[in-house]
Chain A
Amino acid sequence: MTTNTNPLAPPSALLAELTYRCPLSCPYCSNPLQMGGRDTEMSTEEWKAIFDQAAALGVLHVHMSGGEPAARRDLLELVAHCAGLELYTNLITSGVGLTRASMAALAAAGLDHVQLSIQDSTAEGADWIGGYEGGFAKKLEVAGWVAEEGLPLTINAVIHRANVAHAADMVDFAVRLGARRIEIAHTQYYGWALHNRAHLMPTREQSEKAYAEVEERRARYRGQIVIDHVAPDYHAKYPKACMSGWGRLSMNVTPQGKILPCHAAETIPGLEFWNAREIPLADIWANSPGFNAYRGDDWMQEPCRSCERKTEDFGGCRCQAMALLGDASACDPICVKSPRHGLIAEIAARDSAEKVEGFTPRRIERIREKSDA
């Protein structure tokens, strides 16, 4: 279906969403609104079979994520299995659910890296936004264990209106924790974040101030900490190169075994995604209709089709075009070249005027309540 003459490259990264269960309830979570509980999750053996196939297919990094991956009792077994396959194993965690002993065991089993989320630079703010009393203190403890084990640490902070004034403080904080790397990611509006957008959106002034303050830290901490900075979408001129291109480098595995190009792909109606419980991973990567839908540039409309940036940002994000314009093939309206770009400023101005309080905390149960209604 595509005129793309480049042969399909192997995927380099696999995001393993081991479970949707999570003790925190961050309102900006990128997980879908409809989440399956424990009884729907894949077994240890099913996960191992996926990792075996991923290694053979060329995956280099496995990101153990969720939900909270430590909520899986077989986390240690899965990490050891990946290490045995020479997969680079990254644990993306809230820290809650880990113990001193489990961290030592994970390190001994071959875990390569820990990415620890923080919700704010203060305990009060962090525990409120994550909806988990004592969470911040727990994270400090976990960061100490990671250091004691000699593992590299990345701090991950999602920025929104309630913590936007502390973005740069969080970089300072990560340096004090001994992190080698920090991700300062302005909220991307998918899943729960899209649902709660009116409570999360900072003003343009707040975003730009935070962005500049974090950029200023780059020079100050050069060689000490690497800063990966995800710009605020709604205040940008050009769209992000979402997932470095749809189905180009990575895949997400849901707790139920569905293989997706990204977190939000299932929000696009009409796409067919395959499940690794039924179909070999290599076949899915090459032939799943959902993956092939937006590979190459055959699907593009103007202004993307003739745009010189199309090999750089791939037209931005398909899920965002869907969510905001109702057309997944349209130019991501974040782009200044989109005929609908004006909509973004309208939404951003409107949503940043709302209250921070009153968001819907991320919960699996919420959906059950909803479906009962």
Chain B
Amino acid sequence: MTDQTQTIERLEAGSRPHLLRGVKLKNDQVRKTWVLLAPERYLRLNAISVDILQRCDGIATLSAIVDDLAAKYSADRALIERDVRSLLDGLLEKRMLGL
């Protein structure tokens, strides 16, 4: 039994996001797209989402993931961080991500 009073996890610069057990990235050869498989649902992923989630290994911090992607895309760090947070916050709420 878990503590019923636990609060929602917050994504912070030092968080180490990872996909929870039962949530999997799959390169779907039939649909020619990456998908995120989770209990009773799946999400089609665009290229940036795949890039983000492939870096969510429970070792890299949020801040390191953003740095890495900003370098890869030669893009504004704040812009990248907004994208990353938007994706990961959504997955946190759907109980697909751990920190």
Q: Measuring CB to CB, which residues of chain A are less than 8 angstroms from any residue of chain B?
A: 10, 12, 56-58, 60-61, 86, 88, 90, 112-113, 115, 150-152, 154, 172, 175-178, 180-181, 222-226, 228
- B82: chain A residues within 8 A (beta carbon): none
Q: How far is the CA of A180 from the CA of B21 in the complex (A)?
A: 11
Could you say which of A57, A58, A90, A178 contacts B40, with CB atoms under 8 Å apart?
A: A90
0/1 interface trace, chain B 35-60, chain A, CB 8 Å (1 if under) = 10101101000000000000000000
User: How far is the CB of A361 from the nearest CB of chain B, in Å?
Assistant: 28
Q: Are B35 and A60 within 8 A (Cβ)? A: yes
Q: In the complex where A151-B21, A178-B2, A226-B94 touch, is A60 in contact with B8 (Cβ < 8 A)?
A: no
Q: In the complex where A222-B93, A225-B95, A226-B94 touch, is A58 in contact with B31 (Cβ < 8 A)?
A: yes
Q: How far is the CA of A318 from the CA of B94 in the complex (A)?
A: 31
Could you say which of A10, A90, A178 contacts B31, with CB atoms under 8 Å apart?
A: A10
Report the count of interface residues on B (CB-CB < 8 A). Answer: 25
Q: Are B8 and A223 within 8 A (Cβ)? A: yes
- A224: chain B residues within 8 A (beta carbon): 6, 8, 95
Pull 10 A–B residue pairs with CB atoms less than 8 Å apart, ordered by A. Answer: A60-B28, A60-B35, A88-B37, A113-B39, A150-B21, A151-B22, A152-B23, A172-B4, A224-B8, A224-B95
Q: Are A152 and B42 within 8 A (Cβ)? A: no
Q: Measuring CB to CB, which residues of chain B are less than 8 angstroms from any residue of chain A?
A: 1-2, 4, 6-9, 20-24, 26, 28, 30-31, 35, 37, 39-40, 42, 92-95
Q: Are B1 and A177 within 8 A (Cβ)? A: yes
Q: How far is the CA of A178 from the CA of B42 in the complex (A)?
A: 22
User: How far is the CB of A287 from the nearest CB of chain B, in Å?
Assistant: 18
A-B contacts counted at CB < 8 A amount to 74
Q: How far is the CA of A232 from the CA of B94 in the complex (A)?
A: 24
Chain B binding surface, main DSSP class: loop
Q: Are B26 and A180 within 8 A (Cβ)? A: no
Tell me which of B1, B20, B24 has the highest count of chain A C-beta atoms within 10 A of its own C-beta.
B1
- A225: chain B residues within 8 A (beta carbon): 95
Q: Are B22 and A223 within 8 A (Cβ)? A: no
Q: How far is the CA of A233 from the CA of B86 in the complex (A)?
A: 35
Q: Are B21 and A175 within 8 A (Cβ)? A: no
User: How far is the CB of B21 from the nearest CB of chain A, in Å?
Assistant: 5
Q: Are A152 and B21 within 8 A (Cβ)? A: yes
